[in-house]
Amino acid sequence: MKKAVIVGMGFGGLRAAQTLAGNGVEVLVIDRRNFQLFQPLLFQVATASLEQEHIAYPARAALRKWKGIQFRLGEVTGIDLDTKTVHLEDGTVSYDYLILAAGSVTHYFGMKSIEEQSFDLKSLDKTVQLRTHILEKFEHASRETDPAKRRALLSFVVVGGGPAGVEFAGALQELIQYELAKDYPCLSMAETRIVLLEARGTLLPFLAEKQRDYAVRQLTKKGIEVALNTQVSGAEPGKVLLANGSHISCHTIVWSAGVKAAPIADILGLCSGANGRIVVEPDLTVAGRPEVFVVGDIAYREQDGRPLPMVAQVAMQGGTYAAKTILRRIKGLQVRPFRYLDKGNMAIIGRNDAALNAFGFKLNGFLAWVFWLGLHLFYLPGMRNRTMVFINWLYTYLFRAQQIRIISGPPAAREETCLHKAKIVTPPHPG
């Protein structure tokens, strides 16, 4: 029996495991976490709409229903392509076929100060820290008598105009408007400030021009400052530095301006493309290694003259394709090159408001918002998670209440996080 090893249990790795299950292949899935994380909803954990366990699902529970699939918790430290061996911190495993689906990490473009003084929306622990940090800034502001210092405490800078940045900014504004305004009657919400910075000339570039303009108008209407063609050059305690020489006083920076391939791509020393991604052949294999597949954010492949985007759709389709290709090759059958089918894109802007572009249909507003909710519920792993998320969404919608306003963690650790004395390290996450 052939053995396939899958590194990473994100969208791509999970689809590959599901496709291989019950087809006479021994499959081992390796991940550094023991749960599958639904990253598209991390921004709602950060803004007190959802509990963190509602968007995470135990890895073994997800895999045990599929025949022939095993799971191993571990950190991959290296891969020997010649001996077909994966090296872990606590041992090695061999393979006949390898699927690399290790995903991506946050890309800071070499700005160490930003890495150390910002939060991202890629990991569960950092997202919970961000929620705590936001609430603590309001606590500190409620005691601050200096107007300038209070204004800085209540200023939040979001860098990156993709879906993560837009969705977080909109959700944060609603948290402030509908909950924190009532929690802190001593504060004037007019002093709060949310600034969304984007280096390019548009938000949500995957949408049509009218939809991009619509997103800017809706965010502005909500009171969010949108600054296009604005580059960040670094950060200092209490401020974000801009490339034009100015700065924004704030104590909270949320970085969603880009991602790059997980560090394992560098370890392998293979040919790399943009953002450190591994260049793959038309069948998603590494050149000269027909048994090694690379899928999702970590893979670089151009289609119709453009690199495939680093999104969940590409990872899921790539994982399914890689698994089917393995099964066909075991049977001695020919395979067609991978072809990505873009099913569309969407982003939620706020309550009753989203933008959707799928299969030629362009929707803005309430219907797009409903579709966004339904699609995310459909792909969220675990019936319990779907039920709890639906209940939370319904409660929030009916009562405009975001109940998970919990400041958690030891005080010393929280203070260290707030002051950014500790280095923030973004671990690799499967995609």
| pLDDT single digits (tens) 194-249 | 999 999 999 999 999 999 999 999 999 999 999 999 999 999 999 999 999 999 99
Q: Are 186 and 142 in contact (CB under 8 A)?
A: yes
> Partners of 332 in the beta sheet?
none
Q: What is the pTM of this model?
A: 0.92
Among 407, 414, 413, 424, smallest CA distance to 117 is for 424
pLDDT value at residue 389: 97
Topology classification of domain 3-32+74-106+260-330? FAD/NAD(P)-binding domain (3.50.50)
pLDDT value at residue 401: 83
Intervals of CATH 3.50.50.60 along the chain:
3-32+74-106+260-330
Intervals of CATH 3.50.50.100 along the chain:
112-257+344-419
- CATH pick for 112-257+344-419 out of 3.40.50.1370, 3.40.50.80, 3.50.50.100, 3.20.20.140: 3.50.50.100
Catalytic residues: 167
Give the span between the Cα atoms of 335 and 52, in whole angstroms. Answer: 41
Residues of the chain whose pLDDT is less than 70?
A: 409-431
Could you report the per-residue pLDDT of 27-50, keeping only the tens digit for each?
Answer: 999 999 999 999 999 999 999 999
Among 288, 311, 291, smallest CA distance to 299 is for 311
Q: Between 209-221 and 163-175, two packed helices, what is the crossing angle to 10 degrees?
A: 20
